[in-house]
């Protein structure tokens, strides 16, 4: 028996919602887990992509692979040991890009394994198990649930989530520069402590953003999509980021621009589908830093992970 799960890309933070806002986007990874007949066979892990050369990233194909780590945790949760299996990872989400590639494969591995085992774990439990590996639930919760998701990991390891309908007319332009930025490096530049003033600034913006999304308030959303907790520190790792945000700020159909997760990718939220000017501004700005960029304007993925 085998199970395949398609999981969307995600963008976390959206400016002020550090480690708690996540948005699902229609680029996908597919995880297939197959039980092997011979229980003595070794675990097999294969990685494929039509979008990039997987050999450049040295992705582990042994038990150190994060998909296997997720599978192993789920087996531990139900009091069993992993059986012989083949794990195939088909990746269209670029790695180290800020679009949730690791969250997608973790979610896919957990959901596929859970289905093979007869669904002993509910969705909340799967998100909590995945968060134990990811370290924060924002990408993972959005990948599983789809849409715009608020999430918080509690002191007992559980994860609280709330899904809020995203305005259908608000589009996302995904901008992926041709360089990678590992999350570990992007997090290393963040301070361990921030000022009360900056914390209060972000608290106000996160509240504003939730209200703006619920009420489709474009003016409030433009004000809300600002941050003082992570983007100012990560700017030096993403050349041109400040310029792109500044150059797009006064465009009529742009509701906001933000680093996507830990970067280096960015997202631009727009009211209208005509985004040629936006793409040109992003491309021209990054070109001055000898950075090429691929852009794609999409609707938000409303449904999240799906068993195929």
The residues annotated with a catalytic role in the active site are 134, 183
266-270, strands of its sheet edge to edge: 254-259, 266-270, 171-177, 293-298
CA atoms of 137 and 161, how far apart (whole Å) = 9
Write the CA distances from 153 to 125, 158, 199, integer angstroms. Answer: 12, 6, 19
- Residues pairing with 10 in the sheet: 24
Q: Any idea of the CA torsion for 190, 231, 288, 277, to the nearest 10 degrees?
A: 160
3-state secondary structure 93-120: CCCCCCCCHHHHHHHHHHHHHHHHCCCC
Greatest extent of the chain over all pairs of C-alpha atoms, in Å = 62
CA atoms of 268 and 14, how far apart (whole Å) = 9
End-to-end CA distance of the chain: 13
Instruction: Tell me, rounded to whole angstroms, the distance of Cα 235 from its chain centroid.
Output: 19
């Amino acid at each position: 028996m085998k199970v395949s799960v398609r999981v969307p890309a995600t963008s976390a933070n959206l400016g002020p919602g550090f480690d708690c806002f996540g948005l699902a986007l229609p680029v996908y990874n597919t995880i297939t887990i197959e039980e092997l007949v011979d229980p003595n066979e070794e675990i097999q892990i294969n990685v494929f992509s039509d979008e990039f050369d997987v050999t450049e990233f040295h992705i582990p194909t042994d038990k150190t692979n994060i998909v296997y780590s997720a599978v192993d945790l789920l087996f531990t949760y139900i009091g069993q040991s992993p059986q012989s299996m083949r794990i195939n990872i088909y990746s269209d989400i670029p790695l180290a890009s800020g679009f949730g590639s690791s969250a997608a494969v973790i979610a896919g591995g957990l959901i596929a394994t859970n289905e093979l085992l007869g669904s002993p774990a509910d969705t909340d439990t799967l998100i909590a198990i995945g968060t134990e590996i990811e370290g924060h639930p924002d990408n993972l919760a959005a990948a599983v649930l789809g849409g715009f998701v608020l999430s918080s990991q509690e002191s007992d390891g559980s994860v609280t989530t709330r899904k809020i309908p995203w305005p259908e007319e608000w589009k996302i332009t995904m901008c992926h520069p041709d360089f990678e930025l590992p999350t570990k490096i992007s997090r290393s530049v963040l301070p361990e402590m921030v000022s009360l003033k900056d914390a209060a600034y972000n608290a106000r913006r996160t509240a504003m953003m939730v209200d703006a999304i619920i009420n489709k308030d474009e003016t409030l959303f433009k004000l809300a999509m600002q941050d003082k907790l992570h983007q100012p520190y990560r700017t030096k790792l993403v050349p041109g980021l400040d310029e792109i945000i500044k150059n797009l700020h006064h465009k009529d159909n742009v509701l906001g621009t933000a680093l996507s997760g830990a970067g280096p990718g960015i997202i631009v939220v727009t009211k209208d589908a005509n985004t040629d000017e936006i793409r040109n501004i992003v491309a021209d700005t990054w070109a001055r830093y000898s950075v090429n960029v691929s852009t794609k304007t999409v609707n938000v993925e409303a449904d999240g992970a799906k068993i195929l």
